């Protein structure tokens, strides 16, 4: 079993992936949740999944472990365009419609 990443490792990885998260928002024309605590905790959830599972799997779902099946959960997930358009935010409330 993979060891759980430490708080420090998660924080460091979150900082590393943050520019990519911003780039996605830019390209898609979305904003990030203005509540920084929420946005940060989701980015940390993504970071934790990178450390634990090797990909930026959505922190709001539990991946099945089947890499092919779980591709749809890699952030920005397959439903994100539709969700942001229809509800104003992605499922996790990280990305918001402007
Ligand atoms: S719901 Fe989709 S877009 Fe939002 S954080 Fe999760 S994977 Fe990313």
* H helices present in the chain, as ranges: 7-28, 36-53, 67-70, 80-87
Cα–Cα distances in angstroms (integers) from residue 58 to residues 6, 16, 18, in the given order: 19, 17, 14
| CB distance 36 to 47 below 8 Å | no
| pLDDT tens per residue across span 49-64 | 999 999 999 999 998 9
Topology annotation, domain 7-97: Ferredoxin Thioredoxin Reductase (3.90.460)
For residue 2, the model assigns a pLDDT of: 66
Check pocket membership of 96 for ligand 1, CB cut-off 6 A. Answer: no
pTM of the complete model: 0.95
Distance between Cα 87 and ligand 1 center (Å): 13
Domain boundaries, the chain: 7-97
Of 19, 40, 21, 15, the closest CA to residue 80 belongs to: 21
Secondary structure (3-state) at 34: coil
Residue 3: band (very low, low, confident or very high) from pLDDT cuts 50, 70, 90: confident
Inform me whether the pLDDT recorded for 70 exceeds 90.
yes
In this predicted structure, the answer to whether residue 34 has a pLDDT above a threshold of 60 is yes
């Amino acid at each position: 079993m993979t060891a759980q990443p430490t708080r420090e490792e998660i924080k460091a990885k979150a900082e590393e992936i943050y520019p990519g998260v911003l780039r996605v928002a830019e390209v898609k024309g979305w904003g990030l949740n203005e509540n920084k605590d929420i946005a940060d905790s989701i980015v940390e959830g993504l970071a934790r999944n990178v450390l634990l599972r090797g990909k930026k799997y959505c922190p709001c779902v539990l991946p099945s472990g089947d890499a092919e099946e779980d591709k749809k959960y890699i952030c920005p997930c397959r439903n994100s365009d539709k969700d942001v358009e229809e509800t104003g935010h992605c499922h996790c409330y990280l990305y918001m419609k402007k």
